């Protein structure tokens, strides 16, 4: 849908402010709502050239056209236009909230009081919690238009975005490939213009690998910056709430709404007394003198890795040409496969957390992990995780769990020492050593997300380029570059990512 700005309406003073800040597109040019930014949508509403109802109508039409083939959504908000009209009336009274009528998609493991929260499971298909998750509550307070609930890898356990309720979400650049995940539905919704922003969760790879595969920006904040209250949990140690946007600025704007102390989630005590670690509209950073450590060990060596390696190497070359100092790190300790085995505690923490969540749902048809597993109605991709999660009677008291927690602390100290000694602003690596896989291949290949997730560090995945095109992927499939920063240095990391984004210019929408 194209909005024509050439017609004239009285422009309120607030619109002049938006234009003066450089966040409104030029007058007289049609705007494509599939790719419009948060700032553009706000400016158009202020100027009187776009209504909230028109935004909602566009979103519904876009979902009707695109979602049946991609399966990004499990549930679409049936009251979208009704809620848009209420926001429009508020706007007419002069109010403009930070995300006023910005379409936001919600991963279906966040509680929503007006839409089912299923985790993708057919066993929870009719569950509608009585309260919103903390993140959803903040989005509503910011004026967001909640589009619907997105598909995920069931209970966010695995990484291919397949669930018994939502089916298999497909890659919008090549529908014969995985959309990755587990937050793949959210990432695909943003990539295809079914939503401007989306929230998701990540335990190991779920935000950043989904962003990598969908050609969007995904931000994993420092552990403890965003409340996880009201989210179906996997791991106290590793779970975070983050989000997606088509640009670093949009993803950062979303995160700025979500950050904050929540007494229901003790981990958020980490932000108490701190200045906001997120910048809402990051401008191009001064990249001269910035230092990035390139983890060469996290790049593949085989012929199947060369397409990703070529994109990554080209991105690093552009960064160097822009004045970034590149420090090559060849350290065998950065081994994703070995580190996944030695740092991932989610198998141990899942069962008690999940059963506590089920207990918070008074009408839940299942009460225990055994109740969930016994009917066998979950995707085969979950089998290994569930087998491990169910075999321990008291997982948090096991020697193995304490060993893994000790490994995390040791690796965290080592990584902090490395970054401090080499004065690094970020560590860089491909999020996935291979491009998004075909559906006929085994999912979850050689992913590098374990380090940020186990250590609790912030990380941003942004588009770096595309693989060569072929018949199934006319413009190729996206390849992202992952940047991992120091804990609580999220603002600096986001600023660096914004500067790199403007150098790489790799944002390219799928042709749908």
Neighbours of 260 (CB within 10 A): 15
Per-residue CA distances from 342 to 235, 287, 346 (Å): 15, 35, 12
Question: In the prediction, which pLDDT does 19 show?
Answer: 33
Question: In the prediction, which pLDDT does 271 show?
Answer: 78
Question: In the prediction, which pLDDT does 394 show?
Answer: 66
SS (H, E, C) 84-143: HHHHHHHHHCCCCCCCCCCEEEEECCECCCCCCCCCCCHHHCCCCCCCCCHHHHHHHHCC
> Is 206 designated active site?
yes
Question: In the prediction, which pLDDT does 512 show?
Answer: 87
Catalytic residue selected from 182, 183, 213, 235: 182
Residues 230-257 as b/e (b if ≥16 CB within 10 A, e otherwise) read bbbbbbbbbbbbbbbbbbbbbbbbbbbb
User: In which residue ranges of the chain is pLDDT below 50?
Assistant: 3-28
Which tokens hold the place of 359?
Answer: 């207990």
> Is 186 designated active site?
no
- What would the pLDDT profile of 104-122 be if each residue is shown by its tens digit? 999 999 999 999 999 999 9
Distance, CA of 23 to CA of 249 (rounded, Å):
11
> Is 495 designated active site?
no
Catalytic residue selected from 107, 138, 351, 433: 107
DSSP state of 443: S
Catalytic residue selected from 206, 235, 252, 339: 206
């Amino acid at each position: 849908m194209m909005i024509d700005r050439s017609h004239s309406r009285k422009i309120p003073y607030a619109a002049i402010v938006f234009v003066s800040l450089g966040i409104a597109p030029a007058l007289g040019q049609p705007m494509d709502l599939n790719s419009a930014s948060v700032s553009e949508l706000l400016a158009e509403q202020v100027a009187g050239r776009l209504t909230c109802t028109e935004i909602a109508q566009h979103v519904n039409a876009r979902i009707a056209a695109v979602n049946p083939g991609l399966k990004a959504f499990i549930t679409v908000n049936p009251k979208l236009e009704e809620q848009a009209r209420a926001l429009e009336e508020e706007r007419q009274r002069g109010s403009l909230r930070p995300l006023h009528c910005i379409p936001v998609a919600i991963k279906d493991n966040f509680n929503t009081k007006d839409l089912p929260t299923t985790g993708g499971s057919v066993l929870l298909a009719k569950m509608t919690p009585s309260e919103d998750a903390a993140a959803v509550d903040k989005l509503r307070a910011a004026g967001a238009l909640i589009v619907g609930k997105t598909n995920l890898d069931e209970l966010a356990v695995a990484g291919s975005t397949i669930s018994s309720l939502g089916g298999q979400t497909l890659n919008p650049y090549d529908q014969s490939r995985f959309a990755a995940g587990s937050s793949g539905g959210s990432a695909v919704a943003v990539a295809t213009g079914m939503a401007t922003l989306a929230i998701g969760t990540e335990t190991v790879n779920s935000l950043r690998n989904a962003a990598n595969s969908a050609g969007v920006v995904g931000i994993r904040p420092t552990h403890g910056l965003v409340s996880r209250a009201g989210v179906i949990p996997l791991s106290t140690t590793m779970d975070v709430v983050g989000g997606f946007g088509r640009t670093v600025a949009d993803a950062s704007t979303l995160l700025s709404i979500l950050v904050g102390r929540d007494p229901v989630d003790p981990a958020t005590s980490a932000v108490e007394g701190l200045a906001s670690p997120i910048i809402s509209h990051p401008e191009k950073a001064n990249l001269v003198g910035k230092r990035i450590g390139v983890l060469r060990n996290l790049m593949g060596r085989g012929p199947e890795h060369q397409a990703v390696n070529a994109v990554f190497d080209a991105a690093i070359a552009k960064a160097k040409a822009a004045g970034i100092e590149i420090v090559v790190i060849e350290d065998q300790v950065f081994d994703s496969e070995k580190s996944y085995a030695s740092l991932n505690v989610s198998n141990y923490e899942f069962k008690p957390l999940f059963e506590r969540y089920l207990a918070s749902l008074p009408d839940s048809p299942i009460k225990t992990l055994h109740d969930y597993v016994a009917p066998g109605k979950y995707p085969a991709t979950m089998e290994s995780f569930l087998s491990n999660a169910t075999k321990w009677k008291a997982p948090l008291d096991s020697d193995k769990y304490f060993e893994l927690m000790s490994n995390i602390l040791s690796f965290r100290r080592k990584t902090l020492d490395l970054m401090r000694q080499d004065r690094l602003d970020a560590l860089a690596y491909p999020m996935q050593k291979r491009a998004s896989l075909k559906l006929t291949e085994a999912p979850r290949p050689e992913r590098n997300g374990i380090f940020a997730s186990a250590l609790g560090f912030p990380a941003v995945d942004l588009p770096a380029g595309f693989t060569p095109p072929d018949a199934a992927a006319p413009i190729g499939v996206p390849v992202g570059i992952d940047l991992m920063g120091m804990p609580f240095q999220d603002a600096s990391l986001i600023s660096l990512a914004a500067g790199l984004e403007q150098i790489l210019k790799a944002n390219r929408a799928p042709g749908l």
